[in-house]
Amino acid sequence: MAESTDQDAVARVYDRYAVSEYERLDRSLLNRAEFALTADLLDEYVVRPGAEVLDAAAGPGRYAEYLLDKGCRVGLSDLSAESLRLFEERVRSDAVLFCRTGSATDLGWLAPESFDAVLLMGPLYHLVTHDERLAALREARRVLRPGGILVAAYISPYRNLVEAVEAGDLREVERLSGGGPTMHLGMQQYRGWPGAAQEALSEAGFEVLRTRNLQGLAARLSPETIEGQEPEEFFAMLRATCELPDLLGATLHFVCVARVAQNPAR
Ligand SMILES: C[S@@+](CC[C@H](N)C(=O)[O-])C[C@H]1O[C@@H](n2cnc3c(N)ncnc32)[C@H](O)[C@@H]1O
């Protein structure tokens, strides 16, 4: 069984990479696709004039900024103080509710039922134990109003699995087949399949509305092949295939949109 997450180590890494994390979503066409396909879901489920949104792992705030531009009121928290500092340096708006350092597993400083939507885009691939991920999901549910929306990002084991096949490492293929911890950026992270994510969301009292992969068919294409594409056509091809049930986990990242369940499964 995985040991619990060293959250101080996660904070240190993102403090160090805060600037590059801010630039990440513009770095390549594949990164821009990740942003565009996520923004589609934010537009559909989260964006409402004056909607109160908690971005519980905001990093330097690319998605928070997007929601502010669309008329939402956004509170940001993250393990990385430096990431939040960069956001505050860049963005001045009365619609920013707060910027506070802390873990998504403990939102005790926030009142129950105080947000229309929560973004959990980071903790679910950094928290290495099921109990920690469940704690983050339950905290999100607690602070959401009835019918509130959760947007949860995950990283699939797909790439690690293909790399293990390339390396001829059967033991690693067997281990990752069910998802599990892996090393990335010098820290332990978690890789999980959409089915496991959907089960955990339901265990935490959510009804899953949508799951979509964010790179999908392009996950294993070379950067040269991708950069040769016309952006809008490339995004359209990904949009046409990102919710095919049989392809959901064949990706780097995927996102689930879930609603607070009226009658939780458990
Ligand atoms: C790859 S960045 C993503 C930032 C942003 N949400 C996005 O999608 O572009 C992952 C972020 O998750 C944050 N994070 C990881 N585990 C966390 C936790 N338990 N609580 C709060 N933030 C966490 C990290 O500090 C980092 O800023």
All domains in the chain, ordered by first residue: 7-260 (3.40.50.150)
CA 171 to ligand 1 center in whole angstroms = 30
pLDDT of residue 70: 98
Report residue 266's pLDDT band, with 50, 70 and 90 as the boundaries: low
Q: What is the pTM of this model?
A: 0.96
Mean pLDDT on 230-255: 97
CA–CA gap between residue 141 and residue 69 (Å, rounded): 25
Cα(60)–Cα(14) distance, integer angstroms: 9
d(CA 91, CA 86): 9
CB 82 within 8 A of CB 21: no
| 186 confidence band (pLDDT: 50, 70, 90) | confident
Mean pLDDT of all residues in 219-238: 94
Sheet strands (E) in the chain: 52-55, 73-78, 96-101, 115-120, 144-155, 180-184, 187-191, 206-213, 253-260
Q: Would you state the pLDDT for residue 183? A: 86
Helices and strands (H and E) in the chain: how many: 12, 9
Share of the chain above pLDDT 70, in %: 98
Report, as an integer, the average pLDDT of 68-93: 97
54: which residues sit within 8 A by CB, 6+ positions away? Answer: 74, 75, 77, 107, 110, 115, 117, 118, 119, 140, 143
Tokens matching residue 256:
């689930």
d(CA 131, CA 76): 23
What confidence tier does 244 reach under pLDDT thresholds 50, 70, 90? very high
Give mean pLDDT, residues 166-194.
Answer: 93
Ligand 1 is surrounded, with C-beta below 6 A, by: 7, 10, 14, 21, 57-59, 62-63, 78-80, 83, 103-105, 121-123, 126-127, 153
pLDDT at 187: 86
Average pLDDT of the chain?
95
Calculate mean pLDDT across residues 97-115.
Answer: 98
CA distance 86 to 21: 11
CB 22 within 8 A of CB 62: yes
**Centroid of ligand 1 to alpha carbon of 107 (angstroms):** 15
With a cut of 70, say whether residue 154 has pLDDT above it.
yes
Summarised one tens digit per residue, pLDDT across range 118-146 is 999 999 999 999 999 999 999 999 999 99
Confidence bin at 2 (pLDDT 50/70/90): low
Q: Which atom of ligand 1 is nearest to the CA of 10?
A: 25
Q: Please tell me the distance between residue 238's alpha carbon and the centre of ligand 1 in angstroms.
A: 24
Residue 1: pLDDT above 60? no
